[in-house]
Amino acid sequence: MVKPKQEAQQNDNVTKPPVQANSYYNELYRPQFHYSPEANWMNDPNGMVFHKGEYHLFYQYHPYDAKWGPMHWGHAVSKDLVHWEHRPVAFTPDHNGDIFSGSIVVDHNNTSGFGKDALVALYTQNKDGHQVQSLAYSTDDGNTWTKYEGNPIMKDFPDPDWRDPKVFWHEETKSWIMPLAAKDKVMLYTSPNLKDWSFASEYKPQNASGATLLECPELFPLPVDGEKDKQKWVLTTSLGDGAIAGGSGMEYYVGTFDGKTFTPDKPEAEWIDYGADFYAGVTWENAPNNDQYRTMIAWMSNWKYANDTPTSAWRSAMTVPRKLELKTSQNGEVKLVQSPIQELETLRGKEKSYPSQVIKPNTNFLANAKGDTVELVADFKVDEMTTSKAFGFRVRKGDDQATSIGYNNEKKTIYLDRSFSGESYFNDQFAKVHEAPLEPVDGHVKMRILVDRSSVELFGNDGQVSITDQIFPKGSSDGIELFSSDGDVTLESLHVYPLNRIWGNSLFHSNLSGWEALNGRWADTISGTQGSDTVDSFKLADSRGKDFTYETDVKIGNQGAGGLVFRSDKTAKNAYVATIDQPGQMVKLWKKVDGEASILATYPAKIDPETTNHLKVTTEGKEIKVHFNDQLAIRTKDNSLSSGYFGLNVWNGTSTFQNVNTYPKK
Ligand code: FRU
């Protein structure tokens, strides 16, 4: 017997078992150990609260686009602040407006009456350029939320900019305190019950000119040098524009707070981070160690180009969680120092350590080091023997790319140079050097560097300064170099660690494999694989079928259509498509023949946004049947295409597909 050729076999009824390289969280620029949403746009971290062993991270989220738009709150939780579990969207816009930034507190004493230990969220709602504050609560540990019937709880503020409540409990005055950003000022309000708020004071930072927009303020106490009886208060603010590295950035002030008024020790602000991509940072409420240090996460982007960075199908990541402490600096001033939280060290792979040695120009003893996710911990001796003008590392190095991190020994600055780091076409201010002043401490300059697929975070001298920047290098740019320019420097010690990824496997269930998007934005999410586009967009699996059953659970997002593609060629120029169409309120069977689309049949159906429906296609020769929620919707005959690939289609919106399976026709 002659065996049929492989090709011929493929044309028959087939469903191959899934053998798939892990494509989940594996795109070119996808952060491997930073939080990023599975798909779509993210900005500020919101509602960060520790509750019953879980760290909650909510965030500004647009579930239907990779650009900023009507804001929702996305949600994720973590037990260790390192690995994250995605949760469904927590808040969607309502008649009071879109859901802007805000915070969550645990109401330990039931001051609100929502219940002991209820989680209470306070957030801004934005509607027609007017902002109000609203409240929602959860009595099931953050799984479900009830929006308060008295919303908005704060309104009628004359200025359009009035937002981003970051609420905390002030034990001394037994009241809740809410800082709000109001254009160029921070306003403080107090409340006994989280519902009724009274104005307490306002603080207009010196650096904030009339033209400057402040956002996301936070006020928290910290011990100085670890001594609990030497407490100071820190006021942090995000500056919409004009920050040290251009565009948006964060500042802070150290001072005192009496329950109503914040008084800074000195009027001048300090930068929290000297890079371009550190914004809207806030710290975890109710975290176990809050009396010793605060844990901050910031949005790792910049409003100058946030909407245009070259990632797909998601946009933006958070910084790693950082430990913030107050320490007395060499000049006697009390300053914030920050370091990656200790838990991140669990991601370290096999350590490589290098002994103390003198580094000369044009030698590279790290020649074999490589990695697109690495941590470098270096200690250089900088004294009168040091002739080097600049020294440090080049990371994500390829033939024509490198990101340089160094110490300029003439200027006494530590810097991050992303001029040649990779893609920068989306903004002409992106390819720049960012620097921070840094004096050696006892003749040492220390660098701690976290490198991910599209970011570098640099901490100088145990976190006295930090520089955080996004970069967009080629995947192949993974070299690491150590350099010294124009002279020698002594490297005291160096440890290099590969860092493991924090993401598990895709939760998209399908007995098809080898999925490839032809166009549009596609990503796997906790609810299945999601496609998004304004035009028709296709994703095909690598197996073909002739007569079969093919089915999916499908959810249309806010608009558009989505459905099953079958008997398709490799480019979807010839294909059948069975979709559910939300604007048309119908099930639709259509085909493309040589790129020309035509409708074969339609069936009226109620299709609600964000509702899961079941769609099933069965074929037998010319006959095609489409079932919608187990009802026969379409039964027709067509003889244009007899076999081909299985796939998915979305049009003019965002659709999510789960349990995409095919079976041989019985
Ligand atoms: C800061 C910010 C906030 C606002 C939110 C809107 O990045 O502009 O002031 O609440 O983002 O998404």
Q: How far apart are CA 228 and CA 233, in angstroms?
A: 12
280 lines ligand 1 (CB under 6 A): yes
Q: Does the pLDDT of residue 315 top 50, yes or no?
A: yes
| Shortest-distance atom of ligand 1 to CA 44 | 7
- Number of domain units in the chain: 3
Q: Does the pLDDT of residue 2 top 70, yes or no?
A: no
Whether residue 409 sits in one domain with residue 303: no
Residue whose Cα lies nearest atom 6 of ligand 1: it is: 100
- Those residues with Cβ within 8 angstroms of residue 596's Cβ, 6 or more apart along the chain or in another chain: none
> Buried (b) or exposed (e) across 620-634, using 16+ Cβ within 10 A?
eeeebbbbbeeeebb
509 CA from centroid of ligand 1 (Å): 35
Helix (H, G, I), strand (E, B) or coil at 313: coil
* Token pair recorded at residue 164: 């981003």
Instruction: Give domain status of residue 552, yes or no.
Output: yes
101 CA from centroid of ligand 1 (Å): 6
Whether residue 287 sits in one domain with residue 223: yes
Q: In the chain, what is the greatest distance between 2 CA atoms, to the nearest angstrom?
A: 92
Whether 292 and 226 have beta carbons less than 8 Å apart is answered as yes
| Shortest-distance atom of ligand 1 to CA 60 | 12
pLDDT band, very low/low/confident/very high, at 67 (cuts 50, 70, 90): very high
100 CA from centroid of ligand 1 (Å): 6
pLDDT band, very low/low/confident/very high, at 51 (cuts 50, 70, 90): very high
pLDDT tens digit sequence for 208-230: 566 689 999 999 999 999 999 99
Instruction: Give domain status of residue 101, yes or no.
Output: yes
Instruction: Give domain status of residue 33, yes or no.
Output: no
276 CA from centroid of ligand 1 (Å): 17
Q: Domain holding 412: CATH number?
A: 2.60.120.560
Whether residue 228 sits in one domain with residue 182: yes
Backbone angles phi, psi at 362, to 5 degrees: 60, 30
215 lines ligand 1 (CB under 6 A): yes
| Shortest-distance atom of ligand 1 to CA 164 | 10
Task: Determine how β-strand 314-315 pairs with β-strand 40-51.
Answer: parallel
Residue whose Cα lies nearest atom 9 of ligand 1: it is: 215
pLDDT at 93: 98
180 lines ligand 1 (CB under 6 A): no
pLDDT mean across residues, the chain: 95
Whether residue 293 sits in one domain with residue 332: yes
Task: Determine how β-strand 214-224 pairs with β-strand 528-545.
Answer: unpaired
Whether residue 537 sits in one domain with residue 482: no
pLDDT tens digit sequence for 414-443: 999 999 999 999 999 999 999 999 999 999
Mean pLDDT of the 607-619 span: 97
100 lines ligand 1 (CB under 6 A): yes
Whether 324 and 336 have beta carbons less than 8 Å apart is answered as yes
Q: How far apart are CA 236 and CA 418, in angstroms?
A: 27
Using most ligand atoms within 8 A of CB, pick from 44, 134, 277 the residue to mutate for ligand 1. 44
Whether residue 361 sits in one domain with residue 278: no
Strands (E), 560-611: 561-568, 575-581, 586-593, 596-604
Whether residue 431 sits in one domain with residue 538: no
161 lines ligand 1 (CB under 6 A): no
pLDDT tens digit sequence for 621-653: 999 999 999 999 999 999 999 999 999 999 999
Using most ligand atoms within 8 A of CB, pick from 68, 101, 303 the residue to mutate for ligand 1. 101
649 lines ligand 1 (CB under 6 A): no
122 CA from centroid of ligand 1 (Å): 14
Q: Does the pLDDT of residue 590 top 80, yes or no?
A: yes
pLDDT band, very low/low/confident/very high, at 665 (cuts 50, 70, 90): confident
Instruction: Give domain status of residue 151, yes or no.
Output: yes
User: Is 184 among the residues known to form the active site?
Assistant: no
Using most ligand atoms within 8 A of CB, pick from 40, 41, 46, 60 the residue to mutate for ligand 1. 60
Quote the percentage of the chain above a pLDDT of 90: 93
146 has which bridge partners?
A: 137
Which residue out of 44, 107, 164, 417 is catalytically annotated? 44
pLDDT at 211: 61
Using most ligand atoms within 8 A of CB, pick from 215, 277, 315, 318 the residue to mutate for ligand 1. 215
Instruction: Give domain status of residue 186, yes or no.
Output: yes
Mean pLDDT of the 401-418 span: 98
Instruction: Give domain status of residue 277, yes or no.
Output: yes
For 148-179, the three-class secondary structure string (H helix, E strand, C coil) is: CCCCCCECCCCCCCCECCCCEEECCCCEEEEE
Q: Which amino acid is at 120?
A: V
Instruction: Give domain status of residue 150, yes or no.
Output: yes
Whether residue 545 sits in one domain with residue 475: no
Helix (H, G, I), strand (E, B) or coil at 605: coil
pLDDT at 364: 78
Whether residue 170 sits in one domain with residue 135: yes
Residue range of the domain that includes 138: 40-340
Instruction: Give domain status of residue 32, yes or no.
Output: no
pLDDT tens digit sequence for 9-41: 344 444 443 434 478 999 999 999 999 999 999
pLDDT at 368: 82
Helix (H, G, I), strand (E, B) or coil at 223: strand
Whether residue 484 sits in one domain with residue 526: no
pLDDT at 129: 87
60 lines ligand 1 (CB under 6 A): yes
Query: Where among 340, 361, 384 does a domain terminate?
Result: 340
Q: Does the pLDDT of residue 341 top 70, yes or no?
A: yes
11 CA from centroid of ligand 1 (Å): 53
Quote the percentage of the chain above a pLDDT of 70: 96
71 lines ligand 1 (CB under 6 A): yes
44 lines ligand 1 (CB under 6 A): yes
For 516-535, the three-class secondary structure string (H helix, E strand, C coil) is: EECCCEEEEECCEEEEEEEE
Query: Where among 447, 472, 498 does a domain terminate?
Result: 498
pLDDT band, very low/low/confident/very high, at 363 (cuts 50, 70, 90): confident
Q: Does the pLDDT of residue 365 top 90, yes or no?
A: no
Q: How many residues does the chain have?
A: 666
Q: Domain holding 215: CATH number?
A: 2.115.10.20
Helix (H, G, I), strand (E, B) or coil at 380: strand
Whether residue 367 sits in one domain with residue 314: no
| Shortest-distance atom of ligand 1 to CA 216 | 9
* Token pair recorded at residue 37: 């949403």
Whether residue 468 sits in one domain with residue 433: yes
Q: What is the pTM of this model?
A: 0.95
pLDDT tens digit sequence for 83-114: 999 999 999 999 999 999 999 999 999 999 99
Q: How far apart are CA 10 and CA 5, in angstroms?
A: 9
- Those residues with Cβ within 8 angstroms of residue 312's Cβ, 6 or more apart along the chain or in another chain: 27, 66, 521
